[in-house]
């Protein structure tokens, strides 16, 4: 084994040059990897003892993409295209051996090899679009040549991963290894076979039949644009991908590649990609807690208890069942328990109808669910999550009772959305094992998990829950103890100015429309209708929401709220609600018209101010945690990077000026300080 460089080895085995890359954690295409690969290729091509070349990676995965940490910052000595020319124009057959997740630039690199073999469990895809990028290593030109434009667009616009089996079926790979451990041997055997056959290496760039057929269909691209229009509206990368695919169909190869290069630079340097890459990194950074020893002994979580089988309890139970953990589900009445089980069963069966789960998976999950009226059944649980009525005394009573049932080291987690976790912990013996696990509804769909660290929560408990969150497929973010933690506290900061605009005569529907135009899935009043107006009645000093509630307008679930809803839950502004608003505020809704950006400034600037306070108080450890929470918790547009990233882009000076112009006096000192020194929340 000749070491070409720190992470690149080259050996000649039976006339086959085997290049092995080892750049943990995911063999991302850092300049070091690219230089090592280029040097190894050059050596292999020059070595007469090598009749074919295999590329394989050590560690958990084949190249998982360009290196997000150095992208656009540090240049390799030879770029993607120089590397690919060397491979593709090799007279010796070249084979890429894929395992793990061959993604983005990794798959694109594999596509410049003449042949590809993968392990049965390997997955591959071009997820660049999820980062606001596009496959900038020739992927937009090679994929249509393999799959045709329609399938290529589906893969590049969704960024979805495909299995080795599917990849074989569409011709993305040529073989599947006989087993997970035989990839290297099978790849070498494949390469030897190719060398012996004298078969000319096949370059994907030379495959023209599919693009020629697409080119012969003049209406194809218009039909595909129409198909995708709504999903990609307002997003730069998907539009650029369309232009690249059109160039691939038009040809010739060099022209198409030139279009891809130009379009890639455009999105790489655009605001949306910086925002989306920020969120990608924020999700990973959120799991790194300063002062938490990385080798901390974590607690085993093999058996889970959930107390409460309502909407949240049922959803939480499904989250654990979906991760393969057995769940004891406790309720106080048989009727509530039966209703909970029925809800879980119905939802799991819907997942089967949608092709997300197989019937045998549902059967396995339901057999791992143990419903009971006896809390004593929790005695051997390693973790118990309560999802009962949002009332402090009820929760404290439960934790006191649980403290007498479960082991002293069993973790007790509360799913409270607002209440003081320290006070709840105080009701249980060994409060150091108490933590908040705030799931977002629907719990089995929403990825965010606010992990609320109590004053006494032990580090081992925190570390265990953070690891568990990843196993559950959740994106955890740590919050300190305050009313509403991070997400709901910031949402509360949005509701006050929204209510104030309504009291001035701005129509709720206009405020919601401006929010959707900004990129939120829905605006504050549609969201209130969904959550139920009673949760926001007390805080509404304008008096509108309390009046709607007393008029029986409690939201979607109870007689409509700001909107009336048809059987498909399509909202229309409610004349009854508008009349109540006019009566309470003395202003006809709509009598005041504001531009969308004026409305959004009125809503978002106070949210930024609250985010700054959350940072000042140490409730959130860093601004990127707040960005992650706002994107995953209530749909702040990810292509704007989350609340604090967006504020940095607006400029903190402008935000302070806007708050002052709106007469908001209590501005966060941190926000004032950063604004004063031209700083940013997400510095560096």
- In the complex with ligand T1G, the residue whose CB is nearer, 276 or 674, is 276
Query: Is 128 annotated in the active site?
Result: yes
DSSP labels for 368-414?
TEEEES-GGGGTT-SEEEE---S-HHHHHHHHHHHHTTS-TTSEEEE
Long-range contacts of 527-531 (CB under 8 A, 24+ apart): 527/491, 527/634, 528/495, 528/555, 528/561, 528/562, 529/555, 529/556, 529/560, 529/561, 529/562, 529/563, 529/565, 529/571, 530/555, 530/556, 531/555
Q: How many residues bind ligand T1G (CB under 6 A)?
A: 23
Choices 100-108, 546-554, 573-581, 650-658; region in contact with ligand T1G by CB under 6 A: 100-108
Choices 101-109, 459-467, 605-613, 649-657; region in contact with ligand T1G by CB under 6 A: 101-109
Distance between CA atoms of residues 245 and 247, nearest Å: 5
Binding ligand T1G (rule: CB under 6 A), the pick from 17, 64, 383, 434 is 64
The answer to whether residue 497 forms part of the interface with ligand T1G (CB under 6 A) is no
Binding mask 123-162 for ligand T1G (x = CB under 6 A): ----xx--x-x-xxx-x-----------------------
Among candidate residues 6, 13, 128, 335, the one labeled active-site is 128
Q: Residue 297 region, left (φ>0) first, then alpha (ψ -120 to 50), else beta?
A: beta
DSSP labels for 133-198?
---TTTHHHHHHHHH-HHHHHHHHHH--EEEHHHHHHHTS-SEE-SSTT-HHHHHHHHHHHHHHHT
| Minimal distance, residue 196 CB to ligand T1G, in Å | 34
Q: Crossing angle for the helix pair 524-531 and 487-503, nearest 10 degrees?
A: 120
The answer to whether residue 7 forms part of the interface with ligand T1G (CB under 6 A) is no
Dihedrals φ, ψ of 121, to 5°? -95, 0
CA nearest neighbour of 222 among 152, 142, 150: 150
By CB under 6 A, what part of segment 265-284 binds ligand T1G? 284
- In the complex with ligand T1G, the residue whose CB is nearer, 101 or 141, is 101
The answer to whether residue 436 forms part of the interface with ligand T1G (CB under 6 A) is no
The answer to whether residue 241 forms part of the interface with ligand T1G (CB under 6 A) is no
- In the complex with ligand T1G, the residue whose CB is nearer, 100 or 340, is 100
Residue 463 burial (CB count, 10 A): 20
- In the complex with ligand T1G, the residue whose CB is nearer, 262 or 483, is 262
Among candidate residues 88, 108, 246, 386, the one labeled active-site is 108
| Minimal distance, residue 98 CB to ligand T1G, in Å | 13
| Minimal distance, residue 467 CB to ligand T1G, in Å | 12
- In the complex with ligand T1G, the residue whose CB is nearer, 424 or 451, is 451
The answer to whether residue 78 forms part of the interface with ligand T1G (CB under 6 A) is no
The answer to whether residue 66 forms part of the interface with ligand T1G (CB under 6 A) is yes
The answer to whether residue 32 forms part of the interface with ligand T1G (CB under 6 A) is no
Q: Is the peptide bond before 679 cis (omega within 30 degrees of 0)?
A: no
CA nearest neighbour of 481 among 423, 426, 529, 440: 423
Pairing of strands 101-103, 115-118: unpaired
- In the complex with ligand T1G, the residue whose CB is nearer, 69 or 250, is 69
The answer to whether residue 607 forms part of the interface with ligand T1G (CB under 6 A) is no
Name residue 558's beta-bridge partners: 555
CA nearest neighbour of 546 among 534, 558, 556, 555: 534
Query: Is 108 annotated in the active site?
Result: yes
The answer to whether residue 431 forms part of the interface with ligand T1G (CB under 6 A) is no
- In the complex with ligand T1G, the residue whose CB is nearer, 108 or 648, is 108
The answer to whether residue 458 forms part of the interface with ligand T1G (CB under 6 A) is no
Q: Tell me if 387 sits within 8 A of 313, measured CB to CB.
A: yes
The answer to whether residue 476 forms part of the interface with ligand T1G (CB under 6 A) is no
The answer to whether residue 28 forms part of the interface with ligand T1G (CB under 6 A) is yes
Position closest to ligand T1G via CB:
65
Distance between CA atoms of residues 378 and 383, nearest Å: 9
Summarize as ranges the residues that interact with ligand T1G (CB under 6 A): 25-26, 28, 64-69, 101, 103-105, 108, 127-128, 131, 133, 135-137, 139, 284
User: Would you name the residues annotated as active-site residues?
Assistant: 108, 128
């Amino acid at each position: 084994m000749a070491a070409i460089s720190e992470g690149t080895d080259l050996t000649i085995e039976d006339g086959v040059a085997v290049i092995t890359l080892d750049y943990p954690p995911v063999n991302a295409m850092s300049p070091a990897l690219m230089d090592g690969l280029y040097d190894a290729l050059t050596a292999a091509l020059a070595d007469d003892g090598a009749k074919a070349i295999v590329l394989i990676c050590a560690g958990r995965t084949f190249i998982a993409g360009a290196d997000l940490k150095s992208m656009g910052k540090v240049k390799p000595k030879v770029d993607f295209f120089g590397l690919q020319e060397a491979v593709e124009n090799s007279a010796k057959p070249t084979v890429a051996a894929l395992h793990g997740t061959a993604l983005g630039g990794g798959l694109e690199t594999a596509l410049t090899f003449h042949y590809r073999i993968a392990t049965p469990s390997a997955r591959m895809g071009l997820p660049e679009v999820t980062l606001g990028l596009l496959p900038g290593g020739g992927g937009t030109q090679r994929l249509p040549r393999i799959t045709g434009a329609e399938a290529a667009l589906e893969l590049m616009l969704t960024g979805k991963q495909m299995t080795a089996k599917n990849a074989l079926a569409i011709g993305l790979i040529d073989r599947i290894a006989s087993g997970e451990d035989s990839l290297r041997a099978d790849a070498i055997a494949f390469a030897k076979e190719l060398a012996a056959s004298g078969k000319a290496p096949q370059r994907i760039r030379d495959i023209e039949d599919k693009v020629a057929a697409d080119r012969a269909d003049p209406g194809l691209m218009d039909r595909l644009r129409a198909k995708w229009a709504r999903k990609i509206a307002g997003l730069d990368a998907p539009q650029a991908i369309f232009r690249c695919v059109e160039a691939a169909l038009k040809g010739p190869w060099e022209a198409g590649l030139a279009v891809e290069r130009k379009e890639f630079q455009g999105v790489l340097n655009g605001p949306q990609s910086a925002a989306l890459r920020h969120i990608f990194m924020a999700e990973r950074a959120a799991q790194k807690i300063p002062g938490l020893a990385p080798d901390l002994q974590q607690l085993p979580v093999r058996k889970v208890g959930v107390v409460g089988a309502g909407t949240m309890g049922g959803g939480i139970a499904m989250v654990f069942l979906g991760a393969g953990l057995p769940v004891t589900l406790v309720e106080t009445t048989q009727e509530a328990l039966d209703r909970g089980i029925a809800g879980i069963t119905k939802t799991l069966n819907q997942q089967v109808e949608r092709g997300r789960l197989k019937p045998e998976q549902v059967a396995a999950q339901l057999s791992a669910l143990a419903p009971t009226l006896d809390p004593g059944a929790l005695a051997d649980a390693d973790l118990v999550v309560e999802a009962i009525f949002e009332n402090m005394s009820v929760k404290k009573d439960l934790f006191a009772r649980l403290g007498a049932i479960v082991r002293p080291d069993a973790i007790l987690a509360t799913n409270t959305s607002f209440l003081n976790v320290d006070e709840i912990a105080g009701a249980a013996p060994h409060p150091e094992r108490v933590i908040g696990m705030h799931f977002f509804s629907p719990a089995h769909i929403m990825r965010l998990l606010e992990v609320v660290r109590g004053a006494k929560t032990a580090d081992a408990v925190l570390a265990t829950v953070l690891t568990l969150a990843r196993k559950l497929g959740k994106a955890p973010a740590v919050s300190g103890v305050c009313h509403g933690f991070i997400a709901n506290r910031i949402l509360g900061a949005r509701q006050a100015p929204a209510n104030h605009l309504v009291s001035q005569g701005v129509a709720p529907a206009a405020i919601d429309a401006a929010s959707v135009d900004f990129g939120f899935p829905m605006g504050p009043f549609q969201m209130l209708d969904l959550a139920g107006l009673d949760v926001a009645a007390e805080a509404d000093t304008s008096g509108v929401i309390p009046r709607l509630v007393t008029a029986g307008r409690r939201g979607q679930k109870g007689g409509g709220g700001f909107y009336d809803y048809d059987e498909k839950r399509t909202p229309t502004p409610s004349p009854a609600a508008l009349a109540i608003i006019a009566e309470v505020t003395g202003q006809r809704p709509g009598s005041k018209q504001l531009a969308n950006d004026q409305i959004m400034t009125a809503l978002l600037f106070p949210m930024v101010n609250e985010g700054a306070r959350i940072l000042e108080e140490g409730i959130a450890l860093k601004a990127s945690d707040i960005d992650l929470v706002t994107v995953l918790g209530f749909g702040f547009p990810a292509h704007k990077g989350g609340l604090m990233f967006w504020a940095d882009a607006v400029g903190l000076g402008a935000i302070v000026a806007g708050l002052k112009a709106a007469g908001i006096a209590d501005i966060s000192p941190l926000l004032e300080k950063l604004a004063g020194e031209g700083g940013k929340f997400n510095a560096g």
